[in-house]
Structure 1
Amino acid sequence: MSKDLSASAKQAEGRLEAAHGELTGDTGEKLKGQAKQVQAAAMQAGSDLKQGVKSTANKVSDATAKAADKIK
């Protein structure tokens, strides 16, 4: 959960920095803001992947336990 908040904060920071760079004509600041947005998207994708793996592992564990109960 805290990684999701961190990714959201970095996304917002990147948007603000990119917008400020756009408004002031500072290409470097705009690019840094865009890079932060890409980093935030990668952080979020990693978090989503981790959640998906946990969910799949739990389903496999539950299915294995049910199969073991049927064998007994």
Structure 2
Amino acid sequence: MNKDQVQGRVEDVKGKIKEAAGKAVGNDRLKNEGRVDQVAGKTQATVGDAKEKVKDAIDRI
């Protein structure tokens, strides 16, 4: 696992926690921040996954 994959997954989990907290206390701003964090985390994890695939492909050459 590379740095982007780990950091992206951490950001996704952080976003899920924020969203749940926002729902629990009725705070729409916090809930929306959580959703944004999740999207950012998933995007970063996807970039990390792509980097890993490229690295693996190069290693096979």
Please give the TM-score of this superposition, normalised by the length of structure 1: 0.73
Is 1:32 equivalent to 2:33 in the alignment? yes
The number of residues matched between the two structures is 60
More off after superposition, 34-43 vs 4-13: 4-13
Structure-2 residue corresponding to 1:7 = 8
CA RMSD of aligned residues (A): 1.2
Whole-Å Cα distance in 2 between the matches of residues 8 and 56 of structure 1? 23
Whole-Å Cα distance in 2 between the matches of residues 37 and 12 of structure 1? 7
Asked whether the equivalents of residues 14 and 37 of structure 2 are also in contact (C-alpha less than 8 Å), the reply is: yes
For structure 1, list consecutive stretches of 5 or more residues without a partner in the other structure. 62-72
Kindly report which structure 2 residues correspond to 1:50-65, keeping only aligned pairs within 5 A, or say none.
50-59=51-60, 61=61
Asked whether the equivalents of residues 19 and 34 of structure 2 are also in contact (C-alpha less than 8 Å), the reply is: yes
Displacement of 1:55: 1.4
- Residue identity over aligned pairs, in percent, reads 20
Is 1:44 equivalent to 2:31 in the alignment? no
Of structures 1 and 2, the larger Rg is shown by 1
Runs of 4+ in 1 over 6 A off after TM superposition: none
Displacement of 1:4: 2.4
